[in-house]
Amino acid sequence: MTHASLPAALNGPRRAVPELLKQACRERFGARCVESLAVRQQHGRDESPFDVEPPDLVLFVESEEEVAFVLAQAQQHAVPVIPYGAGTSLEGHLLAVQGGISLDLSRMNRILAIQAEDLTVTVQPGVTRHRLNDELRHQGLFFPIDPGADASLGGMAATRASGTNAVRYGTLRENVLALRVVTPGGGVVRTGSRARKSSAGYDLTRLFVGSEGTLGVITELTLRLYPLPEAVSAAICFFPSIDAAVQTTMQIIQMGVPIARCELLDAHTVRAVNAHDHLGLRESAMLLMEFHGSAASVAEQAGTVQEIARDCGGEDFEWASTPEERTRLWTARHHAYLSALQMKPGCRCVTTDTCVPISRLAESINESVAEVQASGLPYFIVGHVGDGNFHMGYLIDPALPAERETAERLSAQMVARALRLGGTCTGEHGIGLHKQDFLLDEAGAEAVDLMRTLKRAVDPLDIMNPGKIFPGQAGA
């Protein structure tokens, strides 16, 4: 089993952006070609714990034609291009480890068509999930994928995001029907259609969903939509231990209750959100749950879950049926990460997520908690436990290498455990820089070699987000 270490790509060679390419970009983009240090630094930092030199250039594109122009120029000069959405990635996806161009897609933010009768929508990649749902609400529809942050839909597709609703509605993999993608060299590929199924050729849509910007730039997405449920009810319940909360979750899923959301916060996280948002919640392990359906089905689901939770030691149920009440309860989950950072001022967070079969979830979390408690390192846990996915955040002092080493060791042990239990090294964060060796452990050398072959075929000069996913060079 591979042990975690700092990715080799962090110390790899940088590829200079020649003056000829810079001048071409200045002429094409004018003020949208930015070379100032402040903007480059903004686009060279995400929520990962890695420090990398910023990109050499930031381009704010506004159309697919402009994306194609940039990629054609970049291929001509063998210059890296790193797609940039909202900057919320956790595994170093957007870091310019070889220099190059940060391609900011945030201005490609048009909702192109809402096909309400087909329950589909077509958008540009810079549209955020909050904005999309604000538009859809007036038509009685919604897009359910909720990773917590107000991420861009292009970035969510590129990292195969999921989040709080995945237990009922699935991930981006199940909810992207079609794409338009600009490939290296400036070609445009259309994948999929608005039809709900197809058996026509290779599934290129699924190839690009989760490719983390290493194969091309997504410029258009067609997504599944869902009717707003007739009734929605949310609840929180507190437990004497994480194990009791997880056992409750396992029984809910194994009994087939169609719960829409089931989120875990440990006592450290509840304490953090109390301090940040003044919520006054009981500081113990907590489940946040949400039920969608008809009024009768929601009541039935809620009653079943309350009975299961009570048998596992759950107490202090609090119900919410109005949007305002639900928002108050879900504030705790959506502010968890930023709230936790305030537990240790000046800290950086080494985060890891794994996903295991639901029957092994308790074992995975309990052993991970025992290890981090023994280390003495501050930590917090949040999890989409309804589908076996949870996140551990290790809070470290960036000035103390020993704390970083401890966090990386704990992360490696947690991932190794997930793989041993039949799970995956990442449920939704993606590989990026941080989990490249773990991908090799999980998939095996033959599968990773096949991925490399696909990468070389699509991107022979390795200009698309180089240094990500694969240990070493993708073309090696």
Q: Is residue 2 pLDDT above 80, yes or no?
A: no
For residue 5, the model assigns a pLDDT of 55
Of 55-64, 145-154, 318-327, 434-443, give the lowest mean pLDDT range: 318-327
Would you state the pLDDT for residue 90? 85
Condensed to tens digits (0 to 9), the pLDDT of residues 82-95 reads 999 998 888 999 99
Instruction: Decide: 48 and 434 in contact? Cβ < 8 Å.
Output: yes
CB 441 within 8 A of CB 1: yes
Give the pLDDT mean for 281-306.
93
203-231: average pLDDT: 97
Q: Which residue has the higher pLDDT, 56 or 331?
A: 56
- Sorted by sequence, the CB contacts under 8 Å of residue 19 that are 6+ apart come out as none
The one-letter amino acid code at 56 reads D
Beta carbons of 82 and 102 less than 8 angstroms apart:
yes
Q: Distance from CA of residue 107 to its chain's centroid?
A: 21
Q: Is the pLDDT of residue 475 over 80?
A: no
Per-residue confidence band for 6, with pLDDT thresholds at 50, 70 and 90: low
pLDDT per residue over 18-54, tens digit each?
A: 999 999 999 999 999 999 999 999 999 988 888 899 9
> Mean pLDDT in the chain?
93
Percent of the chain with pLDDT over 90: 83
Torsion of CA 351, 355, 360, 366, to 10 degrees: 10
Is 474 a residue whose pLDDT tops 60?
A: no
Q: For position 174, what pLDDT does the model report?
A: 95
Residue entry with tokens 């993999």: 173
Which of 73-82, 173-182, 429-438 shows the lowest mean pLDDT across its residues? 429-438
Confidence at residue 330, expressed as pLDDT on a 0 to 100 scale: 82
Mean pLDDT of all residues in 218-239: 95
> What count of other Cβ atoms lies within 10 Å of the Cβ of residue 232?
17
Can you give the pLDDT at residue 4?
47
What confidence score (pLDDT) does residue 374 get?
97
The confidence score (pLDDT) of residue 357 equals: 94
Specify whether the CB–CB gap between 318 and 236 falls below 8 A: yes
Distances from the Cα of 171 to the Cα of 114, 183, 203, 223, 251, angstroms: 20, 24, 17, 11, 22
pLDDT in tens, 50-80: 889 999 999 999 999 999 999 999 999 999 9
What's the whole-number mean pLDDT along residues 299-308?
92
Confidence check: pLDDT of 10 > 90: no
How high is the pLDDT of residue 3? Answer: 43
Give the phi and the psi of residue 75 in degrees, each rounded to 5: -65, -40
pTM of the entire predicted model: 0.93
CA–CA separation, 262 vs 146, rounded Å?
13
What pLDDT is stored for residue 325 in this prediction? 81
> What CA–CA distance (Å, rounded) separates 110 from 107?
8
User: 10 Å Cβ neighbour count for 16?
Assistant: 13
- Please compute the mean of the pLDDT values over residues 179-198 and round it to a whole number: 95
pLDDT on residue 192: 96
